[in-house]
Amino acid sequence: MPDLTRRRLLAGLAAATAIPLATGARPASARPLDEVMERGRLRVAVYRDFRPFSFRQDGALVGIDVDLAGAIAEKLGVKLDCYEQLAGETVSDDLRVAVWRGSLFGGELADIMMHVPYDKRFGMMNPEAVLFAPYHHEVFALARDPSRVRSAILATLPDEPIAVEIDSVPDFFLLGMQGGRLRSRIIHCPTPEAAIDKLTAGEAAAVLAPLSQIQAALGPRVAEFPITTLALPGMMTSDWNIGMATKENARDLTYAVGDAVAALTEDGTMAAIFARYGATHTPPPLVE
Amino acid sequence: MKRLVSTLALTASLAAFSATGALAADGPTSDDLLKSATNTEAVLTYGMGPQAQRFSPLTDLNADSVKKLVPVWSFSFGGEKQRGQEAQPIVYDGTIYVTGSYSRLYAVDARTGHKKWEYNHRLPDGIMPCCDVVNRGAAIYKDKIYFSTLDARLVALNRETGKVVWNKKLAEYKEGYSNTAAPLIVDGKIITGNSGGEFGVIGMVEARDAETGELVWQRPTIEGNMGTLNGKDSTVTGKTNASWPGDMYKTGGGATWLGGTYDPETKTLFFGTGNPAPWNSHLRPGDNLYTSSTLAINPDNGEIKWHYQTTPHDGWDFDGVNEFVSFDLKKDGKVIKAGGKADRNGFFYVIDRNNGKLINASPFVTKITWAKGIDIETGRPIYNDDNRPGAPATGEAHDAKGKSVFSAPAFLGAKNWMPMAYNPQTELFYVPANEWGMDIWNEPITYKKGAAYLGAGFTIKPLYDDYIGALRAVDPKTGKIVWEYKNPAPLWGGVLTTAGNLVFTGTPEGYLKAFDAKSGQEVWKFQTGSGVVGSPVTWKMDGEQYVAVVSGWGGAVPLWGGDVAKLVKDINQGGSLWVFKLPKA
């Protein structure tokens, strides 16, 4: 019975709307579970340059998502074949390239893609993919220099420079907040780590970014720069679940991987992987 | 039989010699490129002349004789790599140089269709071009042929052998940069724009030494950014923070992804710039200069002479990259050095190319919702304020969609990349237009790189049941539409016009079509087997007039077109070069 329970919790989201495309050529076939096992290899897509989840360290591909994919492959008894994908304009583009249509430049589809938001409405917008196995709950957070920003209350943020990742929700939120009061004080950075660099260098008084990215980038300096999780009032999603995706025809794979993720969460491996990169694992709420 | 063949070959090579002169082996000079609009024996530049009028003085083919135009040969680009073929061929010394999808370049014998060489650019894994894997054409100069690649490099090849002479990085493909436009060569400099992802990018125009590929100057298109000249800082573009808040100018958009044109008379480059970033205009108050504009640039040093912004404070993703085509406007007994631009925003602009002053602006599509018109005195649009997509819904419900507006044209534009043509004999522009609109709103249920995000939601909708594409003859003196040809699918290919009173363009349905330039009557068509989204050219060889066009459906419509994409889903892909001629009587 526990297996069944897990399956109900962890299996795909897109089931109700997984309608085969009526148009055009069928995309190349994904490899469901049997094929993965037969080949002895699990092909996994992760984002390129995405600390602390997937990045290069001394040339090696490492990170939370990479290690988790490795642990899943081990549970399945197959080899990990992990590759980096450049993020597109939205995750819908990434799903198309990684798991269902494939790249215009050819190459193999991924069996699973890591770090895909697990959101029912988002799943319905992408019926060609199945979203499954939520493994982390992400939230936006503020890291601040307490001498310049005395409290972590957005509405009363002082007239001080704040660093954000360009073209992110924190960026849009602060550009629009209170009629744009802080608009000219925003420092736009290519990544959350670069924003944290501005904070620790004293160029910025605070950073607004996803919690795990702030934690990993600050490391031990969190003692100097307190972190507070925050809702961005009204505007848009402030917290969300992170899971995986595969193609809509690979449902048996989602059960096997979902079971592996549940086991890795229960035995503490998941928390240890997050801790390895300086982030705190927060399991997603079990009720949808 | 053998003797006959060799005699023919000898005749052919003699003809090539006489057509292009004794210097053929050295290749075209700067002067040849500047005069390429009147050279009927070759097609030396993208746009069939640096001004990009796409006009040929040839008259063998005319509205009567065109019915005798027949295919001579067809050349397949080969492989599985098909998709959109948006190139314009270059023709020189009996060879056609044509680019294909996936950053490929071919040299083909213009008489026989025999492949001389092929260059297949090795593309790195994991590149993510925003739209399709197209390329719009090559540039030729002296002994080299040049083109830009999907991984944002500029490659110079020996035109005889196809061997790489140099290969320079234009921008970092890992940051989402790409390049698909045909380079422009002026006075020994090869001049390129840039194309990139929607964020973190600023538009740039760059000049390199065509011999070595070394950078000569750079001109950022966004106010506040520093240009360079000969390896040193030159001048700041515009005035820092005049039209952008905070540090937003450092990442303000304005990519020059369609390349540019050049006017030898005023010695000016014209580059169009893309939309500003981020997409929601409420987050970046100000005109956001110089996005969605045409920039007039000095080719010697990259300094901006003037600008004209077609969509100040763009909130509809209209973009302003469309080509600026220099022409002589004959009005009230005077000749004005003008330029024409059919903008994505739906207005046809006639601008004094000496100073950037607006002369006339008129709609070239039937429905424009974002502005009531353009004020000729100030040159600024008269906005319909309630048609601007709303601000992100601060303070509203968690998943508030915000105001959805129906806006026409759609963000794919009243005219997209596909170049128009100008005929100095009919004194008309021939504009490939599309009639579509879009619902656009703030989409709260989006994610980017694994994180919550606020994107634009949009649905493109045709405006009419029976057509989307419309080839329109526009009189620049009055702004009036003189004639139109309606096409069921959206038009996505370039236009060619000739002194033989003809206009050529392709259709996604697979036809290359010819029209009477004065009346718009369709006088010829040929089915190429896949959608035509390239730009046709014409030239004379061995005493006969030739026409060439690439065939191969693709581009942005099937990827982004929403409801429109469904209309074109049954079009088969392809990848070939078609060559036609009017046989001697």
The Cβ of residue B218 has, within 10 Å, a number of other Cβ atoms equal to 18
Are B102 and A105 an interchain contact pair (Cβ–Cβ within 8 Å)?
yes
- pLDDT, residue B12, reads 46
- B445 or B131, which is more confident: B445
With tokens 């100097």, the residue in question is: A224
CATH H superfamily, domain A2-137+242-276: Periplasmic binding protein-like II (3.40.190.10)
Identity of the amino acid at A276: R
- Single out the catalytic residue among B287, B317, B343, B516: B317
The Cβ of residue B376 has, within 10 Å, a number of other Cβ atoms equal to 12
Contact A41, A111 (CB under 8 A): no
Catalytic residue flag (residue B516):
no
Helices then strands (H, E): number in chain B? 4, 40
Q: In what order do the strands lie in the sheet with B544-551?
A: B70-76, B576-581, B544-551, B537-541
Q: Which of residues 125-154 of A touch B (CB under 8 A)?
A: 125, 138, 140
Distance from CA of A55 to the nearest CA of B (A): 13
Residue B400 has pLDDT above 60, yes or no: no
Q: Read off the pTM.
A: 0.91
Bridge partners of B513, per DSSP, are: B505, B525
List of chain B residues whose C-beta atoms are within 8 Å of the C-beta of residue A89: 130, 197-198, 448, 455
Residue range B9-553+570-581 in CATH 3.40.50.11240:
no
Which token pair is B561? 């077109």
Residue B442 pLDDT grade (very low, low, confident, very high; cuts 50, 70, 90) = confident
- A244 or B83, which is more confident: A244
With tokens 């269709």, the residue in question is: B113
Mean pLDDT of B299-311: 98
Interface ipTM: 0.87
Quick check: helix, strand or coil at residue B330? strand
Residue B9 has pLDDT above 70, yes or no: no
Query: What is the Cα gyration radius of chain B?
Result: 23
Are A47 and B102 an interchain contact pair (Cβ–Cβ within 8 Å)?
no
Please, where in chain A does CATH 3.40.190.10 lie? 2-137+242-276, 138-229
- pLDDT, residue B398, reads 45
Its sign, for the CA torsion B220, B225, B231, B232, is positive
- pLDDT, residue B198, reads 53
Residue B295 has pLDDT above 70, yes or no: yes
Contact A150, A142 (CB under 8 A): no
- pLDDT, residue A287, reads 55
**What is the separation of C-alpha B479 from the centre of its chain, rounded to a whole number of angstroms?**
22
**What is the separation of C-alpha B280 from the centre of its chain, rounded to a whole number of angstroms?**
26
How far CA B332 is from CA of A200, B114, B326, B478, B483, in Å, comes to 67, 52, 19, 12, 23
Q: In what order do the strands lie in the sheet with B334-342?
A: B325-331, B334-342, B347-352, B358-363
Mean pLDDT of B158-183: 93
Distance CA A82, CA A62 (A): 10
- pLDDT, residue A8, reads 37
Identity of the amino acid at A5: T
Identity of the amino acid at B570: D
Please give the span between the terminal C-alpha atoms of chain A, in angstroms, as a whole number: 20
The Cβ of residue B219 has, within 10 Å, a number of other Cβ atoms equal to 28
H or E stretch covering A216? helix A211-218
How far CA A64 is from CA of A51, A56, A75, A76, B164, in Å, comes to 9, 12, 16, 18, 42
- pLDDT, residue B159, reads 97
Query: What is the Cα gyration radius of chain A?
Result: 20
H or E stretch covering A142? strand A129-144
A163 closest CA partner among A117, A201, A134:
A201
DSSP state letter for B124:
P
A251-266 and A2-10 are packed helices; what angle lies between their axes, rounded to 10 degrees? 110
Quick check: helix, strand or coil at residue A95? helix
Residue B130 pLDDT grade (very low, low, confident, very high; cuts 50, 70, 90) = low
Its sign, for the CA torsion A197, B288, A158, B449, is negative
Are B277 and A167 an interchain contact pair (Cβ–Cβ within 8 Å)?
yes
Q: What percent of chain B has pLDDT over 70?
A: 93
Bridge partners of B579, per DSSP, are: B73, B548
DSSP state letter for A103:
-
Are A210 and B451 an interchain contact pair (Cβ–Cβ within 8 Å)?
yes
A16 to chain B, any CB pair closer than 8 A? The answer is no
A86 to chain B, any CB pair closer than 8 A? The answer is yes
Distance CA B99, CA B106 (A): 6
Distance CA A196, CA A211 (A): 12
Low-confidence winner among B168-172, B198-202, B520-524, B542-546 (lowest mean pLDDT): B198-202
Bridge partners of A44, per DSSP, are: A82, A112
Which token pair is A125? 């917008």
Are A235 and B394 an interchain contact pair (Cβ–Cβ within 8 Å)?
yes
A268 to chain B, any CB pair closer than 8 A? The answer is no
Sequence spans of domains, chain B: 9-553+570-581
Bridge partners of B92, per DSSP, are: B95
Distance CA B159, CA A32 (A): 49
Residue B561 has pLDDT above 90, yes or no: no
Contact B336, B328 (CB under 8 A): yes
With tokens 């670069």, the residue in question is: A194
Name the E strands within B12-161: 55-56, 70-76, 90-92, 95-100, 104-109, 115-120, 139-141, 144-148, 153-158
Residues with Cβ within 8 Å of residue B532, at least 6 apart in sequence: B493, B505, B506, B507, B508, B510, B511, B512, B549, B550, B551
Reading chain A (288 residues) residue by residue, the pLDDT tens digits are: 333 333 334 444 443 333 333 333 344 444 588 899 999 999 999 999 999 999 999 999 999 999 999 999 999 999 999 999 988 889 999 999 999 988 888 788 999 999 999 999 999 999 999 999 999 999 999 999 999 999 999 999 999 999 999 999 999 999 999 989 999 999 999 999 999 999 999 999 999 999 999 999 999 999 999 999 998 876 667 899 999 999 988 889 999 999 999 999 999 999 999 999 999 999 998 755
How far CA B6 is from CA of A170, B9, B10, B13, B20, in Å, comes to 73, 5, 6, 11, 21
Distance CA A94, CA B448 (A): 9
Q: What is the mean pLDDT of chain B?
A: 92
Distance CA A78, CA B167 (A): 41
Are A180 and B446 an interchain contact pair (Cβ–Cβ within 8 Å)?
no
DSSP state letter for A177:
G
Which token pair is A263? 């086991």
Distance from CA of A194 to the nearest CA of B (A): 14
Distance CA B357, CA A158 (A): 44
Contact B131, B177 (CB under 8 A): no
- pLDDT, residue B11, reads 46
Are B400 and A89 an interchain contact pair (Cβ–Cβ within 8 Å)?
no
Bridge partners of B350, per DSSP, are: B340, B360
Which of A48, A94, A176 is closest, CB to CB, to B392? A176
Establish, for the pair of chains A and B, how many residue pairs have beta carbons separated by less than 8 Å.
155
A87 to chain B, any CB pair closer than 8 A? The answer is yes
- B125 or B473, which is more confident: B473
Fold of A138-229: D-Maltodextrin-Binding Protein; domain 2 (3.40.190)
A231 to chain B, any CB pair closer than 8 A? The answer is no
Q: What is the DSSP string of B246-310?
A: TTGGGG-B---TT-EEEETTTTEEEEEB--BSSS-GGGS-S--TTTTEEEEE-TTT--EEEEEES
- pLDDT, residue B16, reads 45
Its sign, for the CA torsion B338, B224, B449, B179, is positive
A5 to chain B, any CB pair closer than 8 A? The answer is no
